[in-house]
Amino acid sequence: MEETLRKAALEYHEHGRPGKISVTPTKQLSNQRDLALAYSPGVAAACEEIVIDPMNAFRFTGRGNLVGVITNGTAVLGLGNIGALASKPVMEGKAVLFKKFAGIDVFDIEINETDPDKLVDIIAGLEPTFGGINLEDIKAPECFAVERQLRERMNIPVFHDDQHGTAICVSSAF
C-alpha cells in the first residue's frame, strides 16, 4: 500500500471516535416514562409476547434488521490469516456497507477459534440475536463445512460472503 494512502487510512480509523460503527437507540429516551417503557417494568410486555410466539421477536426487537458479520480472521482478503482481532476493521467496514447501502444494522463478531466444529457451536449459539448471519474471511476448506453445518442447525439465513458474494458478482456479469 502506498504510504500516503496508508497514513490517510489510519487517520480515518483513529480520529474522532475510533472505529467505523456505533450503536444508537431507535426510540427516544428523554424522560422517566420513556425509561419505564424501554426497560423495567415496560420491557416485560415485549418479553411476554415473545414467550407466547417467538416470531414476535421480529415485531418487538431489532432482530429482523440485524445481521451478524462473523469471522475468525483466517482468510482476510489480501492479508491472509491475521487472526480475529486484526480482522475487526474489515468487519466494521462490512458493517458500514450493510448500513449505508441496505439500511441493515450489523454487529461485527470476531471469534478467536480455528476449530470448525467449535466455531459452528459458537455461531449457532448466537441465533436468537440475529435475523441473519454473514460469514466472512474464514479459510477454505473449513468455511464450506462451517456454512453447511450452520445452515442445517439454524433457522435464519446464513450467507457465506466469500462464496455467495463471488457467485453473485460473477452471475451478474452474464
Residues involved in catalysis: 39, 94
Count, residues in the chain: 174
Decide if 95 contacts 67 (C-beta within 8 A).
Answer: no
Decide if 114 contacts 143 (C-beta within 8 A).
Answer: no
Residue 128: asked if its preceding bond is cis (omega within 30°), the reply is no
C-alpha cell at 169: 458478482
Nearest-CA neighbor of 109 among 127, 18, 17, 99?
127
- Taking the CA atoms of residue 64, residue 119, residue 97 and residue 14 in that order, the dihedral angle to the nearest 10 degrees is 120
Q: Looking at the DSSP assignment, which residues form a beta bridge with residue 135?
A: 70, 160
Beta strands in 45-171 (DSSP E): 66-71, 105-110, 132-135, 158-160
